Chains A and B, each alone.
Chain A
Amino acid sequence: MVNRQPIDAYAHDIDEEKQSSVSGGSAASTDKRYSALFSDYEDPNALRRLASRIKDHTLHHLDDYLEQAESSLKRNGCHVHFADTDDDARDAVLSILREREITRLTKSKSMASEEIHLNDHLIKNDIEVLESDLGEFIIQLDGDVPSHIVRPIIHKNRREIARTFQREGIADDYNDDPEAITRRARVHLREKYMEAEAVITGGNFISAESGRVVLVTNEGNSRFGMAPSRVHIALVGIEKLVPTDRDLAVFLNLLGRSATGQQLTVYTEFISGPKDDSQPSGPEEMHVVLMNNGRTDVLASNCREILRCIRCSACQNVCPVYRQASGHAYRSPYGGPVGAVLSPILFGDRFPELADLPKASSLCGACNEVCPVDIPLPDLLLRLRDKAKREHIPQPGDLPMAPFATLATSPAIWRTAMTMSKAMNHLPIEMAPVRPLQDWLGQRTLPEWRGGDFRKWLKKRQSD
C-alpha cells in the first residue's frame, strides 16, 4: 500500500511472537491495575482528580517550587545542577564523573536517561556503564532499546532472554525458567555492584519542601547500587517536583497500582542527601541534575497537561494501538499515548518528523480513563493533529477535508448527493473512487447505500 502510516506499517510487519508478548503483557497489567485500584478505593477517580490538581498546581508555580527544591536539596547536602538541554545534562553528568576520575558505574532505570541517550554518551567517553534493572540489563546485553516505560523488555519472552544469557556468557547453559534467569542475573550483577564507584538513578518525585528524592523500584537495584558507590547522581526532569512530602501519599498510592497493580512497589526509597552523621551509610556525595530538555516549551504549549505524567505506563498498557504495534513503533523512548503526545513536542525540532504519532490513535479515550493524573490524552492528540495541519506537515494517508466541509455546508447539494450516490451500490469494489477506500473495503463490506430514504419516509409520515 502506498503512503502507509509508519506505525500501521510497523504493526503490519511486526514479529508475531513479539506482538503477542506485548499485547498479553499489557492486557495483564491493565487487569491488575483495575483490581488493585477498585478493590482499595471506593472512588479511584476522585484520587486521580486530586493527583491531577496537585500536579497542575505544581506546574503552575514551577519556578517557585524549583527554587524551593534547590534550597532544600542544598540544605540536605546535595549538589544541584540545572541542565537546560540534553547536551547540558549529559555534560553535567560526565563532568561530575571526570572530576572524580570515576570510570565505572551502575545505573538504575531512568526514562530521563533514555531520553538523552546518556549511556551512549558515557560509554563513548570511556565510562563503563552497567544497567542494573533486570529488564534494562537484558536490553543492554542485546543492544536493544526499551519498548515500554515500566517493563522495558515487555516485547521479549523468557526463551529469548535465556538465549541471550547463554550467548553473553552470563550463564553456561540455556535455562528459561524465570527464577533461574533472575538468579543468574543477580549473581552476575552483585559482583559488578561492588566494583562501581558511582550510581546513576532517576527520580520518581522530589519533594520541594524536604528535598527528598523518591525512588520507586521492584528489584532494589538502586539501593544496591548506592551501597558501595562514592557518588550518587540523580537525573530528574523538572516536572517531577511535588510541593510537600504529604503529597507523596497521593502519588505513591496511585503509581504502583496504576503501573503494575501493586499497592506499593517493593522498594520505595526516600533519599535525603549523602551520608552524614545522622545517616552513616550511602554515597559520600549526592548530585541532583534537574533537567529541562524541552519541558518549559511544553509548559508554554497547549499540551502542558502532559507534564503531569508520572510515567506509570497505564495508558500504554490499555492502548489498543500500542498493543498491536509495540513501543518500538513510536521511535522514541516513550511509546503509547503518552509518547504520541510527548515525543513530538518534547523534542521540539523533531516535530515534523514525529507528527504522525498523534494520528496513531482511534481516540478511544481508554488512556484518559486509566491515567492516574487524568491527562486528557485524546484532546492533546487532537490538538497536535491541528498543529500539524496548521504547520502544513502532511501525513501519509491524509484525506482531503476541505471538499467534505464544502459539501457538508451546502445542504441542497448534500441532499442531492445523498440520493445520487445510490449509484455506488452498483460499483464493484475495485472501482471505488478513493485509493484508501479500496483498502478499507478489502477488509470490510459496506452496507447498502440508502441515501435520502429516511428523509423521504419522514416527509410521507409527516404528511399522512
Chain B
Amino acid sequence: MPATTQRPAGKKVLLMATCLCDAFYDDVARATVEVLQHLGVEVGFPENQTCCGQPAFNSGDWKSSRKVARHTAEVFAGDLPVIVPSGSCAAMHFHGNRLQFEECPDGAVESLANRTWELIDFIVNGLGIREWPGRFEKPTRLAFHRSCHLRGTGSGEAITSLLSTIANAEVVPFGQAEQCCGFGGTFSVTFPHISGRMGSLKLDHILEQHPDLLVSGDMSCLMHLTGLAQVQGRPVPHKHAVQVLRDTLQA
C-alpha cells in the first residue's frame, strides 16, 4: 500500500496537530515539528485549524461533522502533504470523509484525503527513512500498541520497523494485539463499562510483557489506557512514537 502511494511527499508540508495535541499533548506536536525539521522538512502550521470532526462523525451527526470537515479542508487547501501525528485523525481525512461525502462530493475534502499522511507513514514511506539513528541508553522494551485506525494502512508496519532500528530498542509482542483498546472516542463515554473492560484487558496483555515504555501512534488510545492504568494503580510509562524518535536522537 505505502510503496505505491499516490500521495505527495517532499520537503514542504502542513502540520495538522490534532485537537488532542492542541489541548493536552503539546509535546507530541512539538516532537513532530522537531523530528520533521531534523529531517530537513519545512513545516507549515495553519493557525485556523481545529479538529478533524471525528467526534461528530462517529456519533452519526454527519451534518455537523461535514461542516467541520469542510472547514478543515479549507484551512489545509493547496497541494502540500498534510501530516497528522495520529492514525485516527489521518484516517478521518482519507476514509471517514470519503464515506460522509459519498452523496455530496466535495473537491477540497477529496483533495485533503489525497494529501493526508499519518506522521510515521510519511517519515518511512514518504521520505524513505528506513533506519533511525537514535539510541536508548540501556536496553529498552517497547510495547507498541497499533491503534485500530492503522488497520489496512502502511503505518503499523512503518512504526514497528522504524522503532526496531533504534539502538537498544526491542519491540516486544503481546497477546491479542489485534484487539481494540476500547477508547473509540465518544464510544468510551456512551459505553463506559465495555470501554473500561476492553482497556483493562489491553493493559493486562501489555503489562504481562513488562515493557519499559508503551508506544503508540495515537495519543487518544494512550490517554485512555494510561488514564485507566493510573486509576487502577498500575501506571505505565508511555510516549508517542515521534517522541521516541526525538528523544532517542537527543540521548
Contact = CB atoms under 8 A, between A and B. Distances in A.
B184 interface: yes
A379 interface: yes
B139 to A, nearest CB: 28
Interface string A370-412: 0000000001001111111100000111110110110111010
A362 B62 contact: no
A101 to B, nearest CB: 51
Contacts of B19: 408
A446 to B, nearest CB: 6
Interface string A339-357: 0000000000000000000
Contacts of A439: 189, 192
A27 B176 contact: yes
Interface stretch (A5-13, A49-57, A231-239, A269-277): A5-13
A449 B33 contact: no
A12 B192 CA distance: 9
Contacts of A408: 19, 50-51, 53, 68, 71
Nearest to A441: B227
Given A401-B55, A439-B189, A362 B180 contact: yes
A71 interface: no
A451 B23 contact: yes
Given A405-B53, A405-B67, A445 B180 contact: no
Nearest to B193: A12
A364 B21 CA distance: 22
B180 A401 contact: no
B247 interface: no
A385 B152 CA distance: 23
B163 interface: no
A414 B50 contact: yes
Contact of B23 (A363, A383, A445, A450): A450
Nearest to B54: A363
Contact of B224 (A386, A436, A444, A458): A444
Interface in B156-191: 176, 178-180, 182-184, 186-191
Nearest to B235: A445
B231 A399 contact: no
- Classify chain A's interface size: 35 or more
Interface stretch (A170-178, A291-299, A320-328): A320-328
Interface stretch (B6-14, B24-32, B105-113): B24-32
Given A443-B228, A455-B22, A383 B191 contact: no
A284 interface: no
A452 to B, nearest CB: 8
B51 to A, nearest CB: 5
A449 B24 contact: yes
B189 A411 contact: no
Contacts of B248: none
Contact of A382 (B21, B57, B183, B196): B57
B59 interface: yes
B58 A363 contact: yes
B210 interface: no
Main secondary structure of the interface of A (DSSP, over half): helix
A191 interface: no
Given A363-B184, A382-B99, A457 B30 contact: yes
A37 to B, nearest CB: 13
Contacts of B57: 382
Contact of A362 (B23, B24, B183, B193): B183
Interface string B123-163: 00000000000000000000000001101100000000000
A198 B75 CA distance: 68
Contacts of A369: 151-152, 178
B60 interface: yes
A389 B22 CA distance: 29
B194 A8 contact: yes
Contact of A366 (B22, B25, B47, B148): B148
B195 interface: yes
Contact of B189 (A324, A437, A448): A437
A401 B58 CA distance: 10
Given A444-B230, A449-B23, A397 B60 contact: no
B22 A365 contact: no
Contacts of A368: 151
A366 B180 contact: yes
Nearest to B98: A379
A54 to B, nearest CB: 21
Interface string A260-273: 00000000000000
A457 B178 CA distance: 37
A405 B176 contact: no
Interface string B67-107: 11001000100000000000000000000100110000000
Given A409-B71, A449-B23, A453-B26, A364 B55 contact: no
A360 interface: yes
Contact of B148 (A360, A365, A451): A365
Contacts of A421: 23
A448 B192 contact: no
B114 interface: no
Contacts of B71: 408-409
Given A362-B198, A411-B50, A447-B227, A404 B55 contact: yes
Interface in A289-344: 318, 320-321, 324-325
Given A12-B193, A440-B188, A457-B30, A451 B22 contact: yes
A418 interface: yes
A446 B189 CA distance: 13
Contacts of B67: 405, 409
Nearest to B15: A458
Nearest to A14: B193
A366 B181 CA distance: 12
A398 B58 CA distance: 11
B190 A359 contact: yes
Query: Which are the 10 A-B pairs with shortest beta-carbon distances?
Result: A362-B184, A385-B60, A444-B227, A364-B180, A405-B64, A454-B26, A411-B48, A397-B190, A401-B56, A401-B61
Given A389-B62, A439-B189, 11 more contacts: A320-B194, A324-B194, A362-B191, A365-B149, A382-B100, A388-B60, A398-B59, A399-B189, A404-B68, A408-B68, A451-B22
